[in-house]
Amino acid sequence: MIDLPTPSKKITLVCRILAVVLLLPALIPLQIGVWAYSHSMDFLATGKRTEAEIVRVIERPSESGLDLTLFTPVIRFTDESGTAHEFEATLKTDNPSYEVDEKVQIIYQPDEPNRWKFDAWPIHWGLATVNLVIFAVVLVTAMGMWIAGPRLITWMQINAKR
């Protein structure tokens, strides 16, 4: 076992301040992740699953100024009351991800059928997952700085003198 020396109070204080400074901005992805998770849970709890059909795919030039064509699917579905709805997706891709007459699963809000999403894991959980993973990585790093940082820095200082 490596015998690590006791770090000075100054080194300990600096490591703990750095850990807190590192952790504070990470509260933003934590808040985004919790909001996205809560939003998805609410949407899925109140939404109705149904099958929709891709009725056309709209091709448009990119608004970013790049020489790029974007493809947007338009879906049609019938809600639980028997009313047919047709909506353009907010999803735009640079390759046609959907084909006309393709059947897709969606979830829509019965009181607002224009609030719908493709029923896919990344759409429901992607934003929450990415942000919570970012927070977790920063949290583990900050904890390492808080707990092991002072001893590690002291050990490196002693070995640098050898």
Confirm whether 125 is domain-assigned.
yes
pLDDT at 160: 80
pLDDT at 1: 60
Overall domain count for the chain:
1
pLDDT at 154: 84
- The 10s digit of each residue's pLDDT in 94-125 is 888 899 999 999 999 999 999 999 999 999 99
Kindly report the backbone phi and psi dihedral angles of residue 135, in degrees, each rounded to the nearest multiple of 5, phi listed first. Answer: -60, -45
Confirm whether 96 is domain-assigned.
yes
Cα angle, residue 52 at apex, residues 94 and 102 outer, rounded to 5°: 55
pTM of the model: 0.80
Nearest Cα neighbor of 86 from 106, 62, 66 is: 106
134-160 mean pLDDT: 90
Question: What length is written for the chain?
Answer: 162
Residue corresponding to tokens 């590192």:
22
Confirm whether 61 is domain-assigned.
yes
Determine the straight-line distance between the first and last CA of the chain, rounded to whole angstroms: 19
pLDDT at 39: 97
Confirm whether 141 is domain-assigned.
yes
Q: Beta-carbon neighbour count of residue 155 at 10 Å? A: 16
Confirm whether 38 is domain-assigned.
yes
- The 10s digit of each residue's pLDDT in 58-86 is 998 888 878 889 999 999 999 999 999 99
Q: Where in the sequence is the domain holding 85, given as residue range(s)?
A: 31-149
Q: How far apart are CA 10 and CA 16, in angstroms?
A: 10
Confirm whether 19 is domain-assigned.
no
Q: Which H/E stretch holds residue 105? A: strand 103-109
Q: Identify whether the C-beta of residue 87 lies closer than 8 Å to the C-beta of residue 58.
A: no
Average pLDDT along the chain: 92
pLDDT at 106: 97
Strand order in the sheet with 84-88: 84-88, 69-78, 48-61, 103-109, 112-118
Nearest Cα neighbor of 90 from 112, 65, 64, 117 is: 117
pLDDT at 87: 97
Confirm whether 82 is domain-assigned.
yes
Confirm whether 74 is domain-assigned.
yes
Q: Which of 10-14, 40-44, 151-155, 157-161 bottoms out in mean pLDDT, i.e. has the lowest?
A: 157-161
